[in-house]
Chain A
Amino acid sequence: MKIGDVMVKDVVSVDHKTPVIEACKIMGEKKIGCVLVTKDGKPYGIFTERDLLSKVLLEGNLNEEIGKYCSAPLIVVTPDYDIVESARIMADMKIKRLVILNEETEEVEGIFTAADLARVIAEYGVKELESE
């Protein structure tokens, strides 16, 4: 099973000038751990719970623009990676989210997180994922 088959396609994105507090409200309402940050309509970075804790709450201001605190550049993968390998990538790189980018259009196709990995394992089982 490929990462492109199970990734979350409706990625929530905000402009880099959006205040952090507004992005936090969106994350709370939609029960998500990150939002994609765009600049001039193109993907620029990602703002995660970790950014909120380690950057904004420690040394920032919730009313400042999100572009100042988001993680950039984006770390991306192509959608043809296997689910099991995507887990290896997250473990090896010590990251919890993979942004899936279409290399031709440079558009973000989706996002695959450690929580999505847990969902897929719960749905299909580890053995089934390994045997595919």
Chain B
Amino acid sequence: MAEELKCGICGKELRAKDEGKTWRRCSICKKPTCFEHLHYIGVWRRGMYKNYVEVVPVCEKCMPKKRRKPVE
């Protein structure tokens, strides 16, 4: 049975053929997420010659919280 595609955040129905156009899977939880609730973060990749930062899509739930500077 085909997977029912719904945005993991808002529940909006998604079409499989629109992947990359209106939705993508969150690279952390792998749930389909519509573009309205999708963000992009950089993650370190260890390459053979050089380490670099690759842009990956993440949903709002998996979006890392920004580290706040400690208050003295």
Q: Are B20 and A85 in contact, with the CB atoms below 8 A?
A: yes
Q: Whole-angstrom distance between the alpha carbons of A93 and B56 in the complex?
A: 11
CB distance from A77 to the nearest CB of B (A): 5
CB distance from B37 to the nearest CB of A (A): 12
| Interface size band for B | 10 to 19
Q: Are A43 and B50 in contact, with the CB atoms below 8 A?
A: yes
Pick from A76, A81, A85, A89: contact of B53, CB under 8 Å: A76
Count: A-B pairs, CB below 8 Å: 53
Q: Are B55 and A73 in contact, with the CB atoms below 8 A?
A: no
Consensus secondary structure, chain A interface: mixed
Q: Are B49 and A42 in contact, with the CB atoms below 8 A?
A: yes
Interface positions of A (Cβ within 8 A of B): 39, 42-44, 73-78, 80-82, 84-85, 88-89, 92-93, 98, 101, 106
Q: Can you name 30 A-B pairs with beta carbons within 8 Å?
A: A39-B50, A42-B49, A42-B50, A43-B50, A44-B50, A73-B51, A74-B53, A75-B42, A75-B52, A75-B54, A77-B54, A77-B55, A78-B54, A80-B20, A82-B20, A84-B21, A85-B20, A88-B35, A88-B40, A89-B40, A89-B55, A92-B39, A92-B40, A93-B41, A93-B42, A98-B55, A101-B52, A101-B54, A106-B48, A106-B50
Can you add 4 more A-B contacts, CB < 8 Å, to A75-B53, A82-B20?
A75-B42, A78-B54, A84-B21, A93-B40
